[in-house]
């Protein structure tokens, strides 16, 4: 069995890490992978040099933060005696998670729910909801 667990450093993703560790600890798991996807920052050459410089800096900050998030998640699994690997990608979070999860034939994608309801959820959308809708070749566990 292969488990892909998603993290963005939030409280909800911590719950997903905890649930994935329980599954991995109680089952015959061949692989646990932790994925963090940081959002693409598109910019066009026609933008000002200052704007491009800010975007480049923001992208570097996202990379540093993402690496730290993954290292903390990896440490979480190591403390529990569970071997895991990390996957660090740039792209649209839901699409990238589904691409990796289904493309690498994971049995489960474990992802936290943002827990937003009503109008906020309708306006902002939800990565976990998009993953559930798009992941046709693997199961998704949404942790609350």
Domain ranges of the chain: 2-143
Annotate 63-101 with b (16+ C-beta within 10 A) or e (fewer): eeebeebbeebbebbeeeebebebbebeeebbebbbbbb
Show the tokens assigned to 59: 């992208």
| Span 2-143 CATH architecture | 3-Layer(aba) Sandwich (3.40)
Bridge partner residues of 90 (DSSP): 38
For residue 56, the model assigns a pLDDT of 87
φ and ψ of 71, to 5 deg: -65, -40
Tell me the pTM.
0.88
φ and ψ of 8, to 5 deg: -130, 10
Query: What share of the chain in percent tops pLDDT 90?
Result: 71
Sheet containing strand 139-143, edge to edge, reads: 85-90, 31-38, 2-6, 108-112, 139-143
Residue 116 has pLDDT above 80, yes or no: no
Instruction: Return the SS3 of 47.
Output: coil
Residue 31 has pLDDT above 90, yes or no: yes
Residues 103-116: what's their mean pLDDT? 86
């Amino acid at each position: 069995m292969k488990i892909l667990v998603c993290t963005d450093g939030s409280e909800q993703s911590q719950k997903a890490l905890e649930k994935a560790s329980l599954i991995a600890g109680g089952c015959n798991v061949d692989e646990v992978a932790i994925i963090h996807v940081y959002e693409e920052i598109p910019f066009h050459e026609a933008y000002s040099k200052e704007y491009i410089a800010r975007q480049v800096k923001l992208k570097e900050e996202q990379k540093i933060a993402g690496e730290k998030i993954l290292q903390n998640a990896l440490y979480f699994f190591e403390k529990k005696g569970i071997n895991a690997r990390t996957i660090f990608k740039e792209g649209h979070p839901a699409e990238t998670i589904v691409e990796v999860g289904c493309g690498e034939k994971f049995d489960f994608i474990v992802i936290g729910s943002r827990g937003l309801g009503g109008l906020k959820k309708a306006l902002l959308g939800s990565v976990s909801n998009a993953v559930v809708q798009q992941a046709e070749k693997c199961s998704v566990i949404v942790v609350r």
